Chains A and B, each alone.
Chain A
Amino acid sequence: MRGRPLLYTSYESDQALLNTGTKKVLLSLFLLLAILLPLGAVPGLQWLASDNWMLVLGEVAIVFVAALGLNILTGLAGQVSLGHAFFMGIGAYTAAALGAPEGPLWGLGLPMWIWLPAAGLVAALIGVLIAPTSFRVRGLYLAIVTLGLVFIGEHLFRNLDFITGGSQSGRQFPRLELKLWKEETPLIDFSNDGTWLGIDLSREAKTFYLMLAAAVLFAVVAKNIQRTRAGRAFQSIRDRDIAAEITGVDEFRYKTIAFMLSSFFAGIAGALVASFVGRTIPEAFGLSLSVEIIAVVLIGGAGVVSGMALGSIFVVVLPLIVLNVTEWLTDLARTGEGIVASIADFFVATGNLDSGFVSALPGSSPGLNVFQMNQVLYGLLIIGFIIFEPLGLYGIWIRIRNYWKGWPFTY
């Protein structure tokens, strides 16, 4: 019986965290790659070890944690929420109030082992308070309620300036360092260059490792939630809430749990992203951030943990691709010749009287700027995936996998 794919002889093996050999091998390889990457020890990928890319990959990991949270609520429990940015903001400012050094703004200077879990817990608590609305309204109406939450949050964050630093001014967030209490020298310092186990590491590489650890931890938690009684209850509510209730699923209880868990993830992600950036303004936790996380969930594949990883990479790296392609086209349009340059010139605006969809230097020539172009692309991709590939990138991966599984036969 051993070695036969998709043949499970026990419920445990069917429900195992990694239920196939391929998954175990792929995950091990991925983790090995992620650990070796910052050391520049992966042939052909040394360029990813640069500080800049470490920062990008760190952001991917944080967005992944945030998306895992929304995935529990929207992907598993089917509750559409636009309020994720609000919970991330709650997490960020809880972290600031507890962890930032004492100064003109609230800050108790407590260590990370307090402020990071607290960020999740406070967000989860507020999630529990919001959850009853999801019992009263569903679908689009819930989306409207959570949209309102984002605006209320923005208003609060702007005006609670003794915590947030106020609109457009912002504040400093706690440093990423592990201390026992308030001692001078941290046990582990993620915010400065240093040596770990005899290996010199930049602060960006250290931060990446921290974010990677968080991403792995929360991925395991999210995957496990999916396999529990609660996870199955979420899915039954998503698939048909009335039927779920008839079969004995307590809708109120499980919707509340879904909100709580989702908000906990969001709170942690918010605290991490704020400390990762170091300093940010209240406006950062607005609707655009919610849309970004929704884009991850829908593009990656709602309901699937590995889809969140694919979606996070895609959504974080997309703006860099747009920027680089735009710059490349601009160069081509300015310096190139012939038909290729003309095509490039059609797409990018290179001067005052030039028209084009996108401009590498907005403010100095017409056309969409890179940020606007990204928003348009997110929109188009979300619509495209919902219509053509509801399982997102994960669905595409399944198709590719199935093709090669049966190769050279078509089925």
Chain B
Amino acid sequence: MKINTRWLAIFLVMGMVLAACSPDEGGPDTTGDEPTDTTEAPGSPGTTEGPTDTTAPPTGEIATDIGVDVENQVIRLGYLSDLSGPFAALVGAINAGAEFYWTGVNEAGGINGWTVEMVVRDTGYDAEAHTQFYQELKDDTVMIAQSTGSPQTVGILEQLAADNVLAVPLTWYSGWTDETLNANLLHHGMSYCLEAHNLLGYITDNNDVSTIAIASIPGDYGLDSVAGAAQAAATLGLEVVYDGTGAIVPGAEGPENPDEIANAIVGADPDVVFLTGRSQDTEAIYGAAVGQGLEAIWTGAFPTYSPRFVAPGSPIADQASRDFILSFYGTPWAAGTDGITAFSQAILDAGLPASEFYTEGAIEATIVHAVLAQAIANGDLTQAGVLAAGKSLSNVDLGGIGPNESYTGTMNEQLQRVSNIVKPDAADLAAGGTGFALVAGEYTHSIVTDYDFTGACYSLG
């Protein structure tokens, strides 16, 4: 071969460096103060006693097939996690919360004597890897306790149905309540779309606002969120003065067009800016906009914001404390209710840094705990038995770390309509907290109460 091999080698290495540097798209990123350790998460489980374990038939009478080691009484749970893609920091923290929860449950004797083992696979937010690892996990685990990403989860829906396997999606896509998608899923938390309704409802009620600018990154996360914002704006009578739906181009370190978006927002001079993206996208666009003197209320999906905005030394700390209003799916640490206080104290006692994202991991795990407890009580720990148990739960009590969930009744009845409205709190962050103050706990605006679910706000084609 006459290809100049030395040059080819150098070129390919350059190519791979470029590939490695290519922009990470989509999805939220989390704060600079994410917890980074899952291994040192033992200790008091806090609220991880979880759902009440009911009386169960003897082990020998429980039907099992895949993912259950009867001899050692171990239940294996599959986690399809993005630990190396755009959601890595977020999902790493969420999994740390889940591991913390299960460690607590196992140390307290397990679920009716059954201990739980997490089998985690890193999908890198790649649909092909997601499908492939699903095939591995469905032959090895009793259910998929976490499936990261909406397109990825939609991609395995047919197989979930064919295999009678239950999955908990780790995304807040509004379509999960749709009957055509939801047969094998246990969704939880308020969707991106309804979150926008709730936030804008709260903001409109409590402030004198009449105009709104909307912007987002592409992808289901950004588009579902701003679709909700546009619906809510129409319902609430807010005039949309700038519509940047999907206009933010996410790069590796931040948006590729922060000035373009910031200029458009400033030029439109809105009372409210609804922006959904990754926190690094918000940081750049917000910094540029306030630099030009814009004063407005800023809001968006929860991962759009990061507490590092108000950390000591942040150039936008004062403005961000003033401008941001957000909504969290779970109970914020600042709520001070019994459940979340016990949970947060247990996290801190284990030496982990404060972060709201542990709560999400624990919420997922609590729901799965309730499913497994029900399956054991039914005497059926097969994959199909676990699916049936999950779909029969009419009220999953999250022990105060999040609003209760229901998986029976009509889609409108299953819809989660409660979230918590929060504001940045620099003092709380400096004192070792998560950096949020509670503004309105367990809040549901009237437009959310009246919301009639007929389909996803943004359709994944």
Please report A residues at the B interface, Cβ cutoff 8 Å: 50-52, 55-56, 59, 74, 78, 80, 82, 103-105, 139-140, 143, 147, 158, 161, 165-172, 191-193, 203-204, 238-240, 273, 277-281, 283-284, 286-288, 290-291, 294, 302-303, 350-352, 361-366, 369-372, 375, 378-379, 382-383, 386-387, 390
Contacts and interface: CB of A to CB of B under 8 A. Distances in A.
Contacts of A239: 1-2
Given A361-B38, A363-B95, A80 B8 contact: yes
Contact of A364 (B36, B218, B246): B36
A169 B223 contact: yes
A78 B3 contact: yes
A283 B15 CA distance: 16
Given A55-B135, A279-B154, A363-B91, A203 B162 contact: yes
A139 B139 CA distance: 47
B13 interface: yes
Contact of A51 (B4, B135, B154, B219): B135
Contacts of A50: 139
B222 to A, nearest CB: 8
Contact of A283 (B25, B139, B459): B25
A235 B45 CA distance: 68
Contact of B39 (A80, A193, A352): A352
Given A78-B2, A82-B15, A168 B122 contact: no
B37 interface: yes
A44 B37 CA distance: 41
A371 B84 contact: yes
5 contacts: A140-B8, A147-B15, A169-B150, A170-B151, A240-B2
Interface stretch (B68-76, B125-133, B367-375, B423-431): B125-133
B364 to A, nearest CB: 16
Given A291-B15, A302-B1, A281 B88 contact: no
Contacts of B20: 372, 375
A150 to B, nearest CB: 9
Contact of B120 (A104, A165, A361, A378): A361
3 A-B pairs closest in CB distance: A363-B92, A168-B219, A352-B37
A52 B136 contact: yes
A80 B12 CA distance: 10
A168 B218 contact: yes
B135 A166 contact: no
Contacts of B132: 52, 55-56, 59
A51 B162 CA distance: 13
B110 interface: no
Contacts of B154: 172, 279
B89 interface: yes
A168 B461 contact: no
B158 interface: yes
Given A170-B151, A286-B22, A288-B19, A278 B131 contact: yes
Nearest to B246: A166
Contact of A352 (B12, B40, B217): B40
A193 B27 contact: no
A278 B158 contact: yes
A16 to B, nearest CB: 24
B229 to A, nearest CB: 17
B95 A280 contact: no
Contacts of B120: 361
Given A80-B3, A105-B461, A365-B37, A294 B12 contact: yes
Nearest to B222: A168
Contacts of B451: none
Given A80-B8, A239-B2, A387-B5, A169 B16 contact: no
Contact of B37 (A203, A280, A351): A351
B19 A364 contact: no
Contact of B22 (A287, A378, A386): A287
Interface size class of B (residues with CB under 8 A): 35 or more
B171 to A, nearest CB: 11
A382 B9 contact: yes
Contact of A379 (B2, B16, B136): B16
Nearest to A159: B218
A147 B19 CA distance: 11
A287 B19 contact: yes
A334 to B, nearest CB: 8
A169 B461 contact: yes
Given A147-B18, A158-B218, A168-B151, 10 more contacts: A139-B4, A166-B218, A283-B25, A284-B126, A351-B40, A361-B95, A363-B84, A363-B92, A371-B84, A387-B5
Contacts of B57: none
Contacts of B5: 386-387, 390
Contacts of A372: 20, 84
A89 to B, nearest CB: 14
Interface string B345-376: 00000000000000000000000000000000
Contacts of A273: 128
A284 B128 contact: yes
Given A192-B162, A363-B92, A364-B96, A287 B15 contact: yes
Contact of A168 (B15, B27, B37): B27
B461 A171 contact: yes
A55 B18 CA distance: 30
A51 B140 CA distance: 11
Contacts of B93: 363
A155 to B, nearest CB: 10
Given A169-B460, A278-B158, A387-B5, A350 B84 contact: no
B281 interface: no
Nearest to A286: B22
A143 B13 CA distance: 13
Contacts of B172: none
Contacts of A352: 36-37, 39-40
Contacts of B192: none
B124 interface: yes
B192 to A, nearest CB: 13
A386 B7 CA distance: 11
Contacts of B7: 139-140
Residue with the greatest number of chain A CB neighbours at <10 A, chosen from B89, B154, B221: B154
Contacts of A203: 162
Nearest to A280: B127
A12 to B, nearest CB: 27
Nearest to B37: A352
A287 B124 contact: no
Given A284-B127, A369-B122, A371-B122, A166 B219 contact: yes
A101 to B, nearest CB: 11
A240 to B, nearest CB: 7
A364 B92 contact: yes
A39 to B, nearest CB: 17
Contacts of A378: 16
A306 to B, nearest CB: 17
A383 B13 contact: yes
B399 to A, nearest CB: 24
B121 to A, nearest CB: 8
A187 to B, nearest CB: 20
B12 A379 contact: yes
Interface in B128-163: 128, 131-132, 135-136, 138-139, 150-152, 154-156, 158, 162
Contacts of B124: 369, 371
Contact of B459 (A104, A158, A280, A302): A104
A276 to B, nearest CB: 8
A370 B158 contact: no
B220 interface: yes
B23 to A, nearest CB: 9
